[in-house]
Amino acid sequence: MGMTVLAVDAGNSKTDVAVVAADGTVVGAARGGGFQPPRVGVEAAVDVLAEAVGRALAEAGTTRVGHVSACLANADLPVEERELAAELRARGWAASVDVRNDTFAVLRAGLLQDSEPRGVAVVCGAGINCVGMLPDGRTARFPAIGKISGDWGGGGGLAEEALWYAARAEDGRGDATALMRSLPAHFGLPSMYALIEALHLGRIPVERRHELTPVLFATAADGDPVARSLVDRLADEVVAMSVVALDRLDLLDEETPVLLGGSVLAARHPQLDDRIREMLAARAPKAVPAVVTARPVLGAALLGLDAVGADDDAHARVRAHFGG
């Protein structure tokens, strides 16, 4: 079709943008700030995208493309995708706009069969989400907006759980765990009481709580039963989401990629990785787990090339550019 694609991968902390020619050549790229419409509103959040998009388009020597493929954090519900797509169309970058949750970018980046992309992906970073797709356009997904939609896990959730168990261990309400020492020690504090006080009074910013997730994994690796139980629970949650998505798409009886992405899963913690593979083998024997380390903007670009009918060479060229 000869259409240029504007690919956008927007996460909570950063945005990657690429302008991709019809033959798969990346002709412009830029990085911008985080995308947080729940906090700042849709228009202001898209303003952040617009700054990076403007730089990428300028590098490409154009102001408009044929198609926008945007994979956006916080686009958790179809109604949110429609609202964001309308705002992107209003910016005039292209008449054709496709908005999806950013988990689809990780899924598409990890799928090597460009002619018939099918598979399931679980992303575990600050939060947790799972999506699946078939070549005919059918998808499987979850709302993934926290406890009210049945979610458990993600780096933020693990940190909260670790704090809960550590606090109860120190004051006697719960079982003993080394977390009551390792968590405060990370911040140079002598006790959980001191850590609770520092968090409550804002002496340790809320955004630093994610630092406790690697501490949890290190404590589990040292053999602490409570920490190990939390790692096992996360593995079970990853498998539960994967199996449900595979079932919804009638893929349980087909050899299907199950792609694992996000900072927590990409770290390849042995206990977590081994249990995911063990449980998948038991519940979905034909699933083929693999960790995705390619930049998610590759997935947004591939989805865009899919949409404009690009050939295999174009897909291969953009993969080579992003090392995917």
Residue 32 and residue 25 in contact, taking contact as beta carbons nearer than 8 Å: no
Other CB atoms within 10 A of residue 268 CB? 10
Please identify which residue in the block is written with the tokens 């405060």: 184
Give whole-number Cα distances, 147 to 157, 208, 245, in Å. Answer: 10, 21, 19
pLDDT at residue number 12: 83
Asked if residues 294 and 256 have their Cβ atoms less than 8 Å apart, the reply is: no
Q: Quick one: DSSP state of residue 158? A: H
For the chain, 324 residues long, the average pLDDT of each consecutive 10-residue run is: 87 93 97 91 94 97 97 93 96 95 94 85 93 93 92 93 98 97 98 98 94 98 98 97 98 96 94 98 97 94 95 95 85
- Sorted by sequence, the CB contacts under 8 Å of residue 10 that are 6+ apart come out as 16, 34, 35, 48, 49, 70, 71, 72, 73, 102
- Write down the pLDDT at residue 1: 43
Consecutive H or E run containing 130: strand 128-133
- CA 214, CA 212: separation in Å to the nearest integer? 6
Any bridge partners for residue 86, and if so which? none
